[in-house]
Every structure is written in C-alpha cells, then in structure tokens.
Structure 1
Amino acid sequence: FKSRGRNREEASLGQVQHLREYQIIFYLNEEKNYAIQPLCRLLQVTRSAYYHWRDHPLSDRERKNQRLAQAIRQIHQAHPDMGYRRIRDELYGRYGLSVSDKRVLHICRYEEIQSTIKSPANSMTTPAKSPYHTAENILDRHFHAEAPNEKWCTDISEFRYGNGDRKHRMYLSAILDLYDRRIVAYKLSDQMPLSLVTDTLDQAVTAEPKAQPIFHSDRGKQYTSKQFHTKLRDLGMTQSMSRVGKCIDNGPMEGFWGMLKREQYYRRHFETRQELTDMITEYIDYYNHRRFQRRLNVLPPMTYHERFYQAA
C-alpha cells in the first residue's frame, strides 16, 4: 500500500513538472482540434502521461504537491543558494504554507533542485605583534542570550573586486547581536585601520546608546589595541576574546560571513567597488529584515528583535 501511495505521489509530481505542457495540449486539442500525438512529441511529453493527467483527477494532497512544487521552483529561481530547509521556512514565512522538511526534500529531489555548493568563509585576523590588552574568553561559546544587547560578536572579513591582475580589496567590519542575530552595525573600508572597528562600534552605540554587552572578538591587532580596550571600558562593555586559532569561539560571526559569501559573493564577479558595496548593503538589509531563520522561530532578525519589546 505504501509503495502504491508513493508511486502515485511521484506520478503527481511528474504532472507538476509538465503541467504547463499538458494544459497547452488540452487547450489546442479541445479548442483547435489539433491531434494529441504530434503535440506530445513537440512538447516532449509522453501520451500516456498526458492521458493520465487528463483522465485522473488529483487528490487534495496531490493538488497541494502541485502548488508546493510551483512555489519551490519560484523560490529556487530567486534564491538558488537555498537548501530544502530554508525553502521550507520560506514556504511557511512568506507563502503561509505549512509543510514538513521531509516533504519539501522529496519534491526538491524530484524536481532536481539543489542549493549552490558551500564555500569556506574568509575572515581576517591579523594578530598583533605586541598586543596591549588580551581578554579572557568570557563568552566561552555560550552563544545564547536572553535579551537584545546582552552579547555582541564582531569580526572583519575581506572581499575583492576588479579585473585581471588589478584586484582590489575591501574589508567589512560588522557587529552581530547574539539574541536576535541581527547586524547591529557595519562599516566598509579599503584598509584595516583601527578606525574601521572603532567607527563600527560608534555606529552600534548610536543605534543602541544604552547597550553594555559582553563584546566578543578574535585577537586581531585592532581589538587588542589600547585605544579600543579603553573605548570599551569607558562604554561599560565587557571585553571577551577567542582563544588563539579557535575560530569556532566566534562561531556566529563566522556563520554570518559564510551566509553572505555563499549566497551573494562566491561565483560572482564584481568589477567596481560600487557594485560590491551595493551587494553588501542590500544583503545586510535583506538579512536583517527578510531572511527567515529557524532558530528565531522562522522570523527575520529584526522582526524577532521587535517582538521582544512588544512582549515586554
């Protein structure tokens, strides 16, 4: 019985795959009296499959599979980086369709839909030769927070643009809140001076003037400088640092770099600084306001952030 049910569902998915062709054949045969066999040959579908679609009304589940498959193809075309779990979250959050991971995976496999291959992120840690201040790993991989602005992570990542041998670098500094995973502040620069991280911090304090979080970073020279340590102390923030060579200690920031680069940077070429800047700016806006995250109850970071204050 289970085998027959599975075969019937696969047949319904096959009907979804060629639904447009079947509809064209039906219209031309009924309205124009065109012969079915040459139409099937022209549109590269079998007559038996067409007759099955025409003569066997679909069940409610099969019709839902059709709607799901059409929505999944639309999502995949707009976001080829999405795997079946993120597609399922998009179906729920944006289309209002409640469906299991397993069912989405089954349809994706039938439709031969796969996410683009992941590539490693490339964060930038330039250790200081003589650091003024190194902090303990106070965060200690406790990446859960009970409220906004309790714990912030930060890091710098490198991007490139240009043609041929004339490649240029650009650096992105960002601060991420561990409660809602929103990007609190970010700054772009052609170099990695101390001002890159202090300006990012200033931007975050402007957005959240009362925040006094645990502030976690790696041991890059900007973060171990006297000026940065003093700035954090004056702001009432507690400095925390990853252990040497342990990028997992700053896992959420590494995860954000991976998302950004996998979804919008890798396999693309940016000729100008402006093109790259626009991509990063647009992605962070998308990430904060429209990218669903399962750890946030299938909500975007800013929606999750705002609901905290609505419930307070």
Structure 2
Amino acid sequence: MKKDHSDLSVRRQCSLLSLARSTFYYQPRGESAENLKFMEIIDRQFLETPWYGSRQMARQLAREGHKCGRHRIRRLMKIMRLVPIYQEPKTSKRHPEHKIYPYLLKDLPITQSNQVWCADISYIPMRRGFLYLVAIMDWHSRKVLSWRLSNSMDAGFCVEALKDALARYGPPEIFNTDQGSQFTSTDFTDVLRDAKVKISMDGRGRWIDNRMIERLWRSLKYECVYLNAFETGSEARDGIGNWITYYNERRPHSSHGIMTPDEAYDRRSPDLKLAA
C-alpha cells in the first residue's frame, strides 16, 4: 500500500518534537454562528464577573440587548466549563467512579519551585468554533510548565501535558487540581502516583486557590486570543505558544516584582542572572 507522504512528514515531526500525532490535527469544535457569538460574550463577561451563574448571566445579556434565554446560556456555560466561584464544589463535572483525593494545601506555605504544581482547563474561542486548553503551572513561580490544546474534554490531552511537564522539570512534591473528571481519571492520577507525587484536590470553599491560573487565562485571552480570532487549530497552537513563551520569559509577574516566571522558577533575579 502506498503511504501518504504528508502523513509520514507529520509522523517525523511528531517524533522529533515528542508530541502526539493528534496535536497536528486539531479541528475547532462547532456551534452555530449565533451560539459562538454568545459564547464569546459570556466568556468576556465571566472574566470580569466570575461569580455570575446562568441566571445572572442571562440578565446581563438581556441588559445589553441580546436575546439569549437562561437555558441556552446554562448549556453554553457547561460546554465552556464555566462555573461561578460560589459553586466551587462543582467546578467541573465529577465522575462517580473516580477517586477524590484530599486537599493538602491548607495552611501550607508555598515558598519554592516544584513544591506545588496546579492545572486547569479553559475554553478558547475561535473564529468558527472553539478548543480547550490545559495548562500546568508551578504555583510558586507562576511559570507555565506545559500545555496542550484539544477539541474534546477527554483526559488524553491533560495526560500528555502532565507527562511533558514531568519529563522537562521532574516531579513536584504536590499536584493540585479541581475535581474534574479529566484530573480524577486513573489515566491522569496513575502518572502522578508512578512519579511519587502527592495528589491534592480542591474541596468546598477552595475556589481562591485557583486564582493564579485564572489570572493566566485572563491575560492570555485579552492579550492573545481575543486579538487574533484564530481560524485553525494550528494558528491557535502557534499563537498561544508564542504568547506563553513571552509570558514565561519576558513578562514580569506581579507576585515576584520585576522577575519573570522563568527567573522566579530558577530562583534568580535579573541582576543575578546577568552576573552569572
């Protein structure tokens, strides 16, 4: 059988980059043009008012002159994985057969890199659809260690990102997530347990623990995603990748003064780095 040369090229590129082949074939998920418009409006509003549920969001859209009922908004918010902060125990849909791990960060001072990592998933609007983005972040430095895009909410792309972060940076002491089915799946937790990482999951009233990665989503969307209106998955991957490189290497983080996440992760100030 004659092999397709373009497919062979993709295989070679995937092998060189240590990426899954699916990374090269992302196609945005589809909704009607009207629903995509509403989803972008909801997404922007949620960044400003993350306590809005479907009822309050429906009122907000009605005030702005949009005809979109609460039931439709509730469905769209579910697709977008948006849950108001006061409902944190239901931040993402739990799987009834998955084990839920205890919360390990209460009163724990987080003072160094690789002490605690966290992960979250965000909706990424496209010109004709949408994708999901998972990011793994070092809690202390705010450095994005790994990320993946997907057109579905299965656990596979989260597992890929986790394995990549572990291979690049070694294991943290603790890994904290919400109780979403992607993070409670055995595919995900088995990787952590094999690496001897303690697993922590947010519980009741712990929405505040996700604030640093929520700030990442806000910055990414306003500084990259909304400005570009990506057409294809490859455009989104390239654009988001360039922004994350900028965020890690050049953008000072408020938690560390003038230091970038890369510099904070390495525990060196810019002056020390120049002197080294």
Same fold? TM cut 0.5: yes
Deviation for aligned residue 1:145: 2.4
Q: d(CA) in 2 for partners of 1:141 and 1:287?
A: 29
TM-score, normalised relative to structure 2: 0.61
What is the match of residue 153 of structure 2? Answer: 192
Deviation for aligned residue 1:244: 4.9
Q: Does 1:153 align with 2:118?
A: yes
Deviation for aligned residue 1:150: 0.4
What is the match of residue 260 of structure 1? Answer: 220
Q: In the alignment, residue 278 of structure 1 is paired with which amino acid?
A: D
- Which of 46, 50, 54 is the equivalent residue of 1:120? 46
Q: In the alignment, residue 145 of structure 1 is paired with which amino acid?
A: I
The structure with the largest alpha-carbon Rg is 1
What is the match of residue 106 of structure 1? Answer: none
Q: d(CA) in 1 for partners of 2:205 and 2:111?
A: 28
Which residues of structure 2 form unaligned runs of 5+?
Answer: 1-43, 48-79, 83-90
Q: Does 1:208 align with 2:174?
A: no
- Which of 244, 256, 260 is the equivalent residue of 1:284? 244
**Is the partner of 2:112 in helix, strand or coil?**
coil
- Which of 231, 245, 254 is the equivalent residue of 1:294? 254
**Is the partner of 2:46 in helix, strand or coil?**
coil
- Which of 238, 257, 280 is the equivalent residue of 2:198? 238
Deviation for aligned residue 1:277: 1.9
Deviation readout 1:86-131 (Å, 9 max, x if unpaired):
xxxxxxxxxxxxxxxxxxxxxxxxxxxxxxxx85346565412414
Q: d(CA) in 2 for partners of 1:138 and 1:123?
A: 24
Deviation for aligned residue 1:276: 2.0
What is the match of residue 178 of structure 2? Answer: 218
Q: d(CA) in 2 for partners of 1:168 and 1:228?
A: 27
Q: d(CA) in 2 for partners of 1:240 and 1:281?
A: 28
Q: Does 1:275 align with 2:235?
A: yes
Q: In the alignment, residue 245 of structure 2 is paired with which amino acid?
A: D
> Greater RCO between the two (CA within 8 Å, min separation 6)?
2
Deviation for aligned residue 1:246: 4.6
1:123 and 1:155 in contact (8 A); partners too: no
**Is the partner of 1:153 in helix, strand or coil?**
strand
Identical-pair percentage = 30
1:174 and 1:183 in contact (8 A); partners too: yes
Q: d(CA) in 2 for partners of 1:134 and 1:283?
A: 33
What is the match of residue 65 of structure 2? Answer: none
Deviation for aligned residue 1:262: 2.2
What is the match of residue 176 of structure 1? Answer: 137
2:163 and 2:191 in contact (8 A); partners too: no
1:153 and 1:178 in contact (8 A); partners too: yes
State the number of aligned residues: 188
2:135 and 2:146 in contact (8 A); partners too: yes
Structure 1 segment 6-25 matched on structure 2, within 5 A: none
